[in-house]
Amino acid sequence: MTDDPNAPKHSNALTYWIAGAIVAAIALALLWPNVAMHFEIGGELFLRSLKMIVVPLVFTSVMCGILGLGDVRRLGKPGAAAIGYYFCTTVLAVLVGLVVVNIIRPGVGTVDPARLEQLDKGAEEPKHVLRRTLAEESGLTEAEVADVFGEIPSAADDVPSTSTILKNLALMLVTDNLFQAAAETELLPIIVFTICFGALLTTMPRRTRTLTTLVSEANDALLAFVMILMKISPLGIFCLVTARFGQAQAEGKFLQEIQQIGWYFATVLIGLAIHAFIVLPLIFWIVRRENPYRYAVAMSQALLTAFSTASSSATLPVTLECAKSAGISKRSSDFVIPLGATINMDGTALYEAAAAIFIAQVIGMDLTLSQQAIVAVTATLAAIGAAGIPEAGLVTMLIVLSAVGLPLEYIGLILSVDWLLDRFRTAVNVFGDSVGAAVVAVTIPEDGASGQSADPQVQVSSTAG
């Protein structure tokens, strides 16, 4: 990792405080769940504070990343490297999920037949269960959930085909109302607009010097705001975790469900662990020839925040700050991490593939190799289209199930434990984004200078001079 003297310094003490807050929160939730649930307001305030700066920070950070390249033609190699990395790691994550679930076979003889009969006779359609769950977990109203995800399908026949998914993914790149996209935190069209606008500015440096200076200074101010939020993050994270674990403990269903589908829960965690501790570190080491676990420690604040918030979008400000403090060039982190938080969902892809095979095992349906290949492809596409809010993977899970003809009502098997698995897979998503920034950084030219050349003001001055 390169040493950038302008990078914010990483605080080990803050990491220890955050880790301690999570442990204390879980302990309080287990001992006094009714008390723990009253901390919800503090957690919600902290989460909203993070989300409040996501859109302006994405705009300024991506803009700085593009302007830092100096010449728009230099975007090609880093851009191709980023997209290639996202695709490869997502496919690898899906393959890890498929291998692990086929070896452990968590759905064979583990679920009580009475539970399956209850799902078969369920009076409530999957879309109503999902909409309510998403509203509870994300803090949105059911109407807002419908706006974010559209109409949740009620049967396999209603689930879009692969061609429709690809069409929708293409349409997600561009919005007809940029302000509406910002209001709804739809980051992908904002990133596409920012990349295009920033690329245009690099072609006219003399006339846009004031604008580039404004963007750079706004980005610095927003990162300073992030640093202030990080100082209070142990308290906010304590409230977030306490309230959520307290709610699960108060309902009294979580431990019962773990006993029923504990092997599934363990299978997903094992798959996530393999991807996070073996696959991603191996890629990091192959490309950079540096210790990947030291880098993971440097990213620990972002990973703990991702576990606490279960939202890669909300964690984005912290991820950017940690990557820069770890020595990753500003140009790479500003460009790669916001884009990755939107389309790079390794943990989600792994979970969706494993969950689909688990459900097939539970109902005694043997999926052929070609059907499992369909699951792999569909899980990859669905993960790219998943929104960066808690439990978004549950909606895209419907697409994966329908691709191989699995009944949608059996998604109810995993609902009760999904909120906790969501935290682990979000942490994997965030770590995948940060590794991507480190990998793509090696493709970005240094212009004969250090990381300081990433400053768009420097680039404008040298180009205009």
Tens of pLDDT, residue by residue over 422-456, are 889 999 999 999 999 999 999 886 653 433 344 44
Up-side HSE of residue 208: CA atoms within 13 Å toward CB?
19
pLDDT at residue 161 above 70?
no
Tens of pLDDT, residue by residue over 337-356, are: 988 888 888 998 899 889 88
Residue range 351-371: average pLDDT?
86
Q: Which of 369, 343, 365, 383 minimizes the C-alpha distance to 99?
A: 369
The structural domains of the chain, ordered by start, are 30-464 (1.10.3860.10)
For residue 388, what pLDDT is reported?
47
For residue 86, what pLDDT is reported?
92
Q: How far apart are CA 30 and CA 100, in angstroms?
A: 31
Q: Tell me if 333 sits within 8 A of 323, measured CB to CB.
A: yes
Tens of pLDDT, residue by residue over 238-259, are: 998 888 888 777 776 666 667 6
Q: Which of 293, 423, 87 minimizes the C-alpha distance to 95?
A: 87
pLDDT at residue 142 above 60?
no
- 158 versus 223: the higher-pLDDT residue is 223
Place of tokens 């998503």: 429
The b/e string for 218-231 (b: 16+ C-beta within 10 A; e otherwise) is bbeebbebbeebbe
DSSP string, 344-389: --HHHHHHHHHHHHHHHHHTT----HHHHHHHHHHHHHHHHT--SS
Tens of pLDDT, residue by residue over 51-99, are: 888 889 888 888 888 887 766 666 778 888 988 999 999 999 999 999 9
Tens of pLDDT, residue by residue over 277-288, are: 999 999 999 999
Residue range 220-247: average pLDDT?
87
Q: Tell me if 78 sits within 8 A of 330, measured CB to CB.
A: no
Q: Which of 199, 427, 406 minimizes the C-alpha distance to 314?
A: 427
pLDDT mean across residues, the chain = 78
pLDDT at residue 406 above 60?
yes
Q: Which of 397, 449, 433 minimizes the C-alpha distance to 316?
A: 433
Q: From the centroid of its chain, how far is CA 158? A: 27
Length of the chain: 465
Q: How far apart are CA 166 and CA 151, in angstroms?
A: 17
